[in-house]
Structure 1
Amino acid sequence: MSALFEPLTLRSLTFPNRVWMAPMCQYSAASSGPGTGVATDWHFAHYAARAIGGTGLILTEATAVSPEGRISPSDLGIWNDTQVAALRRITDFLKSQGTVPGIQIAHAGRKASTAAPWTGGAPLGPEEGGWQPLGPSPVPFDERHPVPTELSANQIQRIVGQFADAARRALDAGFEVAEVHGAHGYLIGEFLSPHSNHRTDGYGGSFDNRVRFALEVVDAMRAVWPRDKPLFFRISATDWLDGDGWTGDDTVRFAALLKEHGVDLLDVSTGGNAAGVRIPVGPGYQVPFAARVRSATGLPVAAVGLITEAGQAGKILANGEADAVLLGRELLRDPSWAHRAARELGGDVRVPQQYHRSV
């Protein structure tokens, strides 16, 4: 049997297989009123379909710790109890299908307050329902984005507390895994990279200072997240820049620190913090970054990035390059990818009784 369909245990939680769903924003929550940031029927149907399809872990899209932490006005949030109740409906169903529910907890930083991609994705001003973005330094993402407000030390600590509060609510909502979003040029990733972090205080300059905010968030979440449940961290392993960016070497060094601070798995992606860079995209193009972290630190990793075929995914695990694979667009195209892969590779994936006639 392919390693794709072997269970994986982290802390006391066992994942039924290693076909996992990567976080992908749906931009489908209400953007104003009492339903702001609340999961809708779209979210339920979207996640439920992938659970029925046999996915072992489903990580929700980036779920904001505060209104100003949303990427767009239509993002999910987890800063109030109304949002918790709607998410619990989803986690209850995922568990009923044998799927582990996980949540990616996020703050968009300087890339906040933008329109949904299908309406252009442009930054939104206050007159359009937007707000002033925040960041480690007054450095905009690109020429279209506004200059973010530089966070004070007190504001940084407030956001650390918001991540801890979000973790408490995530537990109340029934999630079994919490993932810190430190990738793709959002707030935590902005602090990590010298490309976006130009601070001269204890949160900028040296490597140790630039990782300080991320580790404070991890510590705050780990303090409230149960010891028997795993905590993940998503990283952009490189900015794909020559000179002033975050690098693969930085990622390996940081991964060792995350392991010491109680992170159980590194979700390894790349890019997103610098505009206009050329990324050598191809099948499995990010897998070597995950493999290097796993080899150098012993920290479990999940690989993501143009993993589309069952044989390709199985080979990544068989070669010891990752402990699990995260599928994004491929699961949008085929919610039952895990069932198809199991047929191809001879694995065993739970099929609901209502769908047994399809086996």
Structure 2
Amino acid sequence: MSQLFSSRAIGPLTLRNRIIVAPMCQYSAIDGVPQPWHAQHLGRLAISGAGLVIVEATGVEAEGRISPADTGLWNDEQEAAFSALLKDIRTYSDTPIGIQLAHAGRKASTAAPWDGGQALPADQGAWTTSAPSAIPFRDEWHTPVALDEAGMQRVIDAFVSAAGRAERAGFDLIELHAAHGYLLSEFLSPISNHRTDEYGGSNENRMRFPLRVARALRDAWPRDRALGVRFNGSDWVDDGLTIEDVQAFARALHEMGYDYLHVSTGGNVARAPIPGKEAGYQLPFAEAVKAAVPEANVVAVGMIYEPAQAEAIIAEGKADFIGIARAILDDPHWPHHAAVALGAKEGLPKQYLGAAAKIWPAYERLYGR
């Protein structure tokens, strides 16, 4: 029996398999409101056969967006749009849908990637960014304002408010974004956090604000819905996060009641030597977290696109779930094809049964079975 296609619980939510569609920014919202693109994108993922789909990094306040085209969840219009989108999806799919709540910190106020991805100039709507310390991500980027206590409380309140909106909109899960060099990741890393108060210096201090946010979100989000967190396993530079830092943060989150730990890397150093084209290049960091917190649900992610590799990761206990992103953009039916490759039930929607492996002559030529 395929381990990748076995069920497993994430807190109160049981997934039909171990495949999670990781959040992927689409940079296609208007004033934070999801558009028809999001409806087709998320609708397609909801019938992919994955066990869980997580909506892209969604700003908890306007200042917290990466770009002006990010989704948001700080006002009624955004909440209503997400609610309508989820209601539509529920007419044809029971796949659990989560949302990643985020604040971009010093990496906010930028153009979309296909428009260069650089810091916005004033005449294109740039806004003031914030961070643990007044250190820009790149020399030519905005210098952020170092958050004071009032600013940190504002951010905490924004996460709590967004959680309430996510609950009313009908999301099954929230993922807290503490990775990729965005605000919470910036506090965690000694690269970007140069504070000399209780929020900087030691790892205990650097964790303090991210754990305040995590606690407020845990208290606000209902226990009958799942709650997870994505965080970095490495900055990919010698003076960045240590694996001991990462394991301590993972333990604290698990003990706080987070239902899964999603381990990614990078994004906090502009020119870090990341081996991003190597299959499973981030897996060692997920393994280290699993070793430190063996009772936790751990999600491995990062160029995992071969079904056999995904199966081996689960079967060998290196992680409990597999996060996929680019693989499913390339092949929206990756989970169905992986099921056939691993001898599991294909799980196609009934409308697509005419293309099932057992009756479609081209399947063997295209997919080898």
- TM-score class normalised by the smaller sequence: over 0.9
1:297 to 2:293 alignment: yes
1:58 to 2:75 alignment: no
Residue 97 of structure 1 deviates from its aligned partner by 1.3
1:139 to 128, 135, 138: 135
Residue 90 of structure 1 deviates from its aligned partner by 2.8
| Equivalent residue, structure 1, for 2:317 | 320
- 5+ residue gaps, structure 1, are 31-35
* In structure 1, distance between residues paired with 2:250 and 2:12: 22
After superposition, give the CA deviation of every residue in 1:115-166 in whole Å (9 maximum; x if it has no partner).
0100111100232012111111000101121110111111101101111111
After superposition, give the CA deviation of every residue in 1:16-40 in whole Å (9 maximum; x if it has no partner).
111111111000011xxxxx10011
Written as runs of structure 1 = structure 2, the 5 A alignment for 1:126-205 is 126-205=122-201
Q: Read off the aligned partner of 1:108 and give its amino acid letter.
A: A
| Equivalent residue, structure 1, for 2:326 | 329
1:49 to 40, 44, 49: 44
TM-score for the superposition, normalised by structure 1? 0.96
Contact 2:337 2:346 in 1 (8 A): no
* In structure 2, distance between residues paired with 1:292 and 1:349: 32
Query: 3-state DSSP class of the match of 1:3?
Result: coil
2:347 to 337, 350, 354: 350
Q: Read off the aligned partner of 1:23 and give its amino acid letter.
A: P
Residue 302 of structure 1 deviates from its aligned partner by 0.4
* In structure 1, distance between residues paired with 2:36 and 2:15: 26
* In structure 1, distance between residues paired with 2:94 and 2:4: 16
Deviates more, 1:113-122 or 1:91-100: 91-100
| Equivalent residue, structure 1, for 2:28 | 28
* In structure 1, distance between residues paired with 2:347 and 2:81: 26
1:90 to 66, 82, 85: 85
Residue 89 of structure 1 deviates from its aligned partner by 2.6
Q: Read off the aligned partner of 2:37 and give its amino acid letter.
A: W
| Equivalent residue, structure 1, for 2:113 | 117
For the structure 1 residues 341 and 5, does the alpha-carbon distance in structure 2 shift closer, same or farther, using more than 3 Å as the test?
A: same
* In structure 2, distance between residues paired with 1:6 and 1:86: 33
| Equivalent residue, structure 2, for 1:33 | none
* In structure 2, distance between residues paired with 1:143 and 1:20: 36
Q: Read off the aligned partner of 1:252 and give its amino acid letter.
A: Q
Contact 1:16 1:98 in 2 (8 A): no
TM-score for the superposition, normalised by structure 2? 0.93
1:217 to 210, 213, 220: 213
Q: Read off the aligned partner of 1:227 and give its amino acid letter.
A: R
| Equivalent residue, structure 2, for 1:252 | 247
Contact 1:98 1:350 in 2 (8 A): no
Query: 3-state DSSP class of the match of 2:4?
Result: helix
| Equivalent residue, structure 1, for 2:16 | 16
Q: Read off the aligned partner of 1:86 and give its amino acid letter.
A: A
Residue 327 of structure 1 deviates from its aligned partner by 0.5
* In structure 1, distance between residues paired with 2:8 and 2:99: 18
2:267 to 263, 272, 277: 272
Contact 1:215 1:261 in 2 (8 A): no
Residue 94 of structure 1 deviates from its aligned partner by 4.1
Instruction: Quote the sequence identity (%).
Output: 49
Q: Read off the aligned partner of 1:180 and give its amino acid letter.
A: L
1:285 to 281, 285, 290: 281
Q: Read off the aligned partner of 2:80 and give its amino acid letter.
A: A
* In structure 1, distance between residues paired with 2:132 and 2:174: 24
| Equivalent residue, structure 2, for 1:228 | 224
Residue 93 of structure 1 deviates from its aligned partner by 4.1
Contact 1:28 1:75 in 2 (8 A): yes
* In structure 1, distance between residues paired with 2:89 and 2:285: 30
Contact 1:38 1:76 in 2 (8 A): yes
| Equivalent residue, structure 2, for 1:237 | 233
Cα RMSD, aligned residues only:
1.1
- 5+ residue gaps, structure 2, are 357-369
Query: 3-state DSSP class of the match of 2:184?
Result: helix
Q: Read off the aligned partner of 2:206 and give its amino acid letter.
A: R
| Equivalent residue, structure 1, for 2:366 | none
* In structure 1, distance between residues paired with 2:138 and 2:68: 20
